[in-house]
Structure 1
Amino acid sequence: MRVRPVSTEVLIEELADRLAGLRPAERLRVAVDGPPAVRPGDLAGALVDPLRVRGRPAVHVSAADFLRPASLRLEFGRTNPDSFYAGWVDEAGLRREVLDPAGPGGNGRIVTRLWDAAADRAAREPYVTLAPDAVVIVSGPLLLGAGLPFDLSVHLALSPAALARRTGPEERWTLPAFARYGAEVDPAAFADVVVRLDDPRRPAMVLDRE
């Protein structure tokens, strides 16, 4: 595997260039996939302004705002890695309220927050109407391999050792879920862009995966 070290600033600029130039007259649905330890929402949010500067309206949507109700996602306990792996995110809601409307033939009306997990109730966010060339960036863990219709995927990768080292004690129960994700889905093998983040100060773009 060949990699190219980049700064965080260069990573953001290069990703923004790529996204801005992809299907410029159409809406674009982008996944920024990675465990909480690499803060995928930070990268997704950091792309919004550079995309706007390049003439592409952009919206950041966090998968954390599309969780299933607590009665469903915590049915088998608050620290069940199998439930976290397959039952926390409301994938049907994310598809219905964001990805399908933002896709080909969609009406462009999306909800950026569906569920308030802290209050465990609907977020009651108003609909947002996307521009015809808008970029919708969805961030969160375990987003790939479940058939969600993304037009481009970015996977933020960590080695198992780095993931364990950078995962706090309160979230270490999730590590088996990420191990299963790596073994069953292997997002680093097929994501359009893979960024190694074993050292958060030195991102590295994966150039090939042989």
Structure 2
Amino acid sequence: MNTESGDDVTAASAPEAPAGGRERTRQRLVEAAAELLAREGRDAVTTRAVAAAAGVQAPAIYRFFGDRDGLLEAVAEYGHAAFLAAKRVDPAPGDPVEDLRAGWDLAVEFGLTNPALYALMYGDPARRTGSAAFRAGMRILEGRVHRLAASGLLRVGERLAATLIHATARGAVLTWLSLPADRRDPGLLTAMRESMVAAVTNEKPAVREPGPAGAARALRAALPEQTTLSPAEQQLLGEWLDRLADDG
């Protein structure tokens, strides 16, 4: 168990509160920790300071989160939920490439607006990213990528495209935050976004260009929506299309 110097914490605690009250207390602790993080930085998020800010006894933190690391993990999940709430989803955008740019810009804006929280969410490669909010956010990104593929605009496979888009947004924010203020050139963000767009999309629908790869990606994206083929035939055709798309 992780404890800070000066914290005298034991497992002993007050009687258990009803479930609804426990959840409200837990949420209050997470929000207090997130506010301390934003205002004073990660080092300020101690069990004693968070408990005082939330108006509870310090042992409550250990009941809910195990230790300070568990509390920080909960704050990171809180950040993913806040990011998810900020996302805007258009199920049928007029221009899927512009929709991709808008989604990337929103991700970067969230990071630059919430630097300490974003660094906690993504700055540690070992930090788990399996929360429900993170997975829901990735599904939104995968939906954008799928619409690009269905429009014949995807240059690479859907999985690789989603990874590239996520990685470039994450890298852009963390690089920006690591730079001295006088070296933070907005042109860096624009260049990274456009490099991402060039890497994962085509200027024109790929089905208009020579070669089977773009057509294979477009057909692969539409495959789950058709009902003519049997499940076994869909699986076999999907494997063929994946091979053709990867060869491109």
Larger Rg over CA atoms: 2
Give the TM-score normalised by the residue count of structure 2. Answer: 0.22
> Whose strand proportion is higher, 1 or 2?
1
| TM-score, length-scaled by structure 1 | 0.25
- Higher normalized contact order (CA 8 Å, seq sep 6+, divided by chain length): 1
